[in-house]
Structure 1
């Protein structure tokens, strides 16, 4: 069979023309896609920088539709949904990412972390816990553990919270001894509610050894000992805590005074508190000194003199109101009205304020009810801050 070379001569130009047309079509389509996707992306970025989140979301959705394989756009879109509180849409975006088979390992772990945050923000504690536990052994492990710790604290699951805190400490993520002591104290409080004082005592002793310099374990343990008819042991425990936790002296002063009076150690307690007050004046310590002076029957200074001395050291509306309560005014008939006005004025000054979020409360909290921070309440009243 003879081979006709004319077919080759005719076919080569035809193949060249077809190839050229196909390449032009591909390049044109590629230019259109590359032109549309970046344009929508940068438009969305511009809206985001101008805090126009609605327009940014629309632009990112357009970009994702133009290039559904772009994972970074999906992450940006999911984060925007979460910031706007549209948690269901954020979950759908991140679940879609996780369902993709072409996603690399790091992006898959990142999507898992983002999904856990979606559940956490939406208040779906069980789902967020399940999602966070899957991040063990990943680059997001530390962040996941901190989120789990917040979850367990919020649900008051102190045993699991302690386990996570220990893992974080072993991973050199900071010191969690103070928190571990708080968890033990919380468990002790639950034991007391359940009428299990021996278990509570054991937990508080463990808390004391876990964080020897913390203020809460000795205060809670002393209160338990006093309830069990051991005021002297309670007094000695708080006496030691004056040295180990001096910043908590204003919180210790009142119970220390009560236990000292109960076990006949008022003179010793008075000396201790006077020394503390001389070093660091405090309204609560001042009240304890006044109470011990009156109970001990000491000659001078009188209660009035103590408040005057405090006013000489620093201005205090609280001290002035307490001093005035025991004084006789020139127009005595107006004393009750004046005293009521002063007591009303000092109420806000007698509160405690969280140093983390500013939440104010009449009583001192070890964990802020507002921001859930531990040890964020100073031991001093607002007037003294």
Structure 2
């Protein structure tokens, strides 16, 4: 049977025409899909820019339905749900991404990290810990460890927090020595509450070794030694704290003055505080000096004189109020009312303010109750900032 070349010659143009038609149909379909998906996507972006999150979510859902394989749309949708507080929907979006076998390893790690953030925002700390631990060895490892550290601090799991801080320090994420000292102090406080004073003593000594320049461990140690009846050792601990943590002098001054009077070390303590006050004037150091001067029979400087000296150094409503308290006014019958008004006016000035978030409190905190930042409270009062 002879092969007829005429059929080949006729078939080639036909095949070419059919191929061209098929390609045109495919191109039209692709163009149609591309027009539909970006239209919904850009519509969602426009709603976001106008802060219309409900409409943005609807637009992104439409875009995902048109192209369910687009992972970026899923991430955008999940992040929107999380920002709105719809954590269950955010979790479902990210879990759906993780269940897909066709996403890249990078997107899988990203989805795992997003899922962990969903759990954290929802307050599901156990689920968040499990999700974060799966990010070890991924590009999100450092972020996951920081989140785990915050998670352990939030749940007051101080041993676990210490282990995570050590890992971060070894990975070159900075120095965590002051924070590790805080963890030891927190554990010591628990031991004191349970009556295990020796165990607390060992923890505080470890904290001082971990961060010698930190003031909290020495202050807590002094309180513990007082409780154990070792007041002279407590006084020594506070005197050492003045040298190792000079920035915390205002926090140390008052308990040191009270302890010095009980130990009979008032003169030495007064001389040291006067030296520090001359270098850096402070309201708390001033009050400690006034306390010690009032207990010294040979003292030549009265409390009112010390307040007047402070006013010469810098304007202070607090010092002025203290000075007026000992002054005899021309209309003395109105003195109690005036003094009460001044005392009320200076109360906000005697607070401490977080340098990170501005949260104010009547007492000094080592960790801000507002933003959970460590060592964000300066030792000085609001009036001195």
Larger mean Cα displacement after TM superposition, 314-323 or 48-57 = 48-57
Shift of 1:8: 5.1
Q: Please list the CA deviations of residues 309-356 of structure 1 after superposition, one character each: whole Å capped at 9, or x if unmatched.
A: 111111111111111112221211111111111111111111111111
Secondary structure at the aligned position of 2:72 is classed as helix
Question: Is structure 2 residue 336 aligned with structure 1 residue 351?
Answer: no
In structure 1, the partner of 2:265 is: 265
Q: Distance in 1 between matches of 2:324 and 2:346?
A: 13
Shift of 1:18: 3.3
Shift of 1:2: 6.2
In structure 2, the partner of 1:366 is: 366
Shift of 1:74: 1.2
Question: Is structure 2 residue 286 aligned with structure 1 residue 286?
Answer: yes
**Superposed counterparts of 1:75-154, under 5 Å:** 75-154=75-154
Larger mean Cα displacement after TM superposition, 41-50 or 178-187 = 41-50
Number of residues paired by the alignment?
Answer: 385
In structure 2, the partner of 1:378 is: 378
Shift of 1:36: 1.4
Shift of 1:259: 1.6
Question: Is structure 2 residue 203 aligned with structure 1 residue 214?
Answer: no
**Superposed counterparts of 1:173-322, under 5 Å:** 173-322=173-322
**Superposed counterparts of 1:13-32, under 5 Å:** 13-32=13-32
Q: Distance in 1 between matches of 2:282 and 2:14?
A: 98
TM-score (norm 1): 0.96
In structure 2, the partner of 1:156 is: 156
Q: Please list the CA deviations of residues 220-257 of structure 1 after superposition, one character each: whole Å capped at 9, or x if unmatched.
A: 00111111111111111111111111110000001111
TM-score (norm 2): 0.96
Q: Please list the CA deviations of residues 104-154 of structure 1 after superposition, one character each: whole Å capped at 9, or x if unmatched.
A: 111111110011001111111111110000001111011001101111111
Larger mean Cα displacement after TM superposition, 210-219 or 55-64 = 55-64
Shift of 1:49: 2.8
Secondary structure at the aligned position of 2:180 is classed as helix
Shift of 1:363: 0.7
RMSD: 1.5
In structure 1, the partner of 2:326 is: 326
For structure 2, list consecutive stretches of 5 or more residues without a partner in the other structure. Answer: none
Shift of 1:67: 1.4
Q: Distance in 2 between matches of 1:257 and 1:59?
A: 67
Shift of 1:55: 2.5
Q: Distance in 1 between matches of 2:146 and 2:191?
A: 27
For structure 1, list consecutive stretches of 5 or more residues without a partner in the other structure. Answer: none
Q: Distance in 2 between matches of 1:132 and 1:342?
A: 53
